[in-house]
Amino acid sequence: MSGQSLRVAFFPDAYHEVDGVANTSRHFEAFARRQGIPFLLVHAGPQNEVATSASVTKVQLRRSPLRFPLDGAHEYDVLFLRHYRKAAQLFRDFQPDLVQITGPSDVGTLGAMLAHRFQVPLAASWQTNLHQYARTRLSRVASRLPASVLGPLLDRVERWSFRATARFYKIPRLLFAPNQELVSALQAATGKPCFLMSHSVNTDIFGPQWRDRPSGPFRIGYVGRFAPEKNVRWLARLERALLDLGHRDFRMVLVGEGAEEAWLRKNMQQAEFTGLLTGEKLSQAFANMDAFAFPSETDTFGLVVLEALASGVPAVVTARGGPKYTVENGETGFVATDFDDFVRTTVILLTQPDLLSSMRAAAREYALSTSWDQIFNGMYRAYEHCLTAEDPLSESILGVANT
């Protein structure tokens, strides 16, 4: 069996949404179409629809009124399995060799059940650190508890949440994760082979060529959801710290929306809120930034960081989570060890134009070195090995070096 003949049924958590999972899902579909690989894509959407074009069959399934929000952009439908019979017929007609899901969502559960019923090998990718989300949300609710109680409680909730999620990931035969920490953690927790699946970016859509702001205040940007797990209140703290240090010639540009927006608007003085941007407007927003501040400690990869680098914008990220693997510290941006370091490194970009210029070039060069085709070809090599070999997967077997 070769990659060109392998038939994959893909059940992603997100497809239409504006986030990293949806972005990767659309690129995966485009890769299969370019390569002429038989590909069944099943995702949630506004209406029931089946469409076949070239080698790709797209199945869109509508969520019921009994859906509830997981956050500002994602939903879970408790009745989604009402589509089981229809999906089973399409699944049977397609005859996949392997099923790929992106997590324990309503769509992912449907894919896992079909794989089990038809005895088709299942692969799953870890996309969201649900255990860290649980910790962040609980810390806000229980913030009035004494530190001596709150700290141990949060540690337990995070540990238990990871164990509960890891139990689901014991079901698939093969796993993928977007950073090396998660690869190691999942292999240890599940005993299953786990492959490093990185990300890429379209360097035509995101690039310095979209910059149309020749001068003006230094622009520190953020793109993403305004949610507690994104640690966005650090942006207000960053603004205050810069003002306290005497810096005035800067603006904060915040692209996105979410539950924390009202708090941010109330607590920031020099911030511009653009709302949700897509297409050319998003490309221009990135390119017109001078530095990118991404304070999240829960992102498994942080695709927006790579989009900033592709735009020639150095990024400041935290030392927790996946973005630290995307930024080359001191070359394409900085990996800050704590909040004070986050401020210090932002000040370096703000006050050292020569260093900023060299980092802008290095950031763009790094983004140009990434490739979606390389990443998805690596996934297909992993699939083939999963189907033909009994020994654990390794990157040397796959012949892929994702960074």
Contact call for residues 28 and 10 (beta carbons, < 8 A): yes
Supply φ then ψ for residue 183, to 5 degrees: -55, -50
Token pair of 157 as six digits? 């909730």
What tens digit of pLDDT does each residue of 121-173 get?
999 998 776 655 666 666 767 777 787 877 777 678 778 877 888 888 999 99
**Which domains does the chain carry?**
8-126+169-200+371-398 (3.40.50.2000), 208-368 (3.40.50.2000)
Q: State how far the Cα of 64 lies from the Cα of 66, in Å rounded to an integer.
A: 5
Among 376, 380, 373, residue whose Cα is nearest residue 97: 380
Among the listed residues 298, 354, 290, the one whose alpha carbon sits nearest the alpha carbon of residue 316:
290
Note the pTM of the prediction, 2 decimals.
Answer: 0.82
pLDDT at residue 239 tops 50 = yes
DSSP state of 228: G
* Maximum alpha-carbon separation in the chain: 66
- Quick: pLDDT tens for 247-265: 999 999 999 999 899 999 9
Is the four-CA dihedral 93, 95, 99, 100 of positive or negative sign?
negative
Q: How far is residue 360's CA from residue 331's CA, in Å, rounded to a whole number?
A: 9
Assess whether pLDDT exceeds 80 at residue 391: no
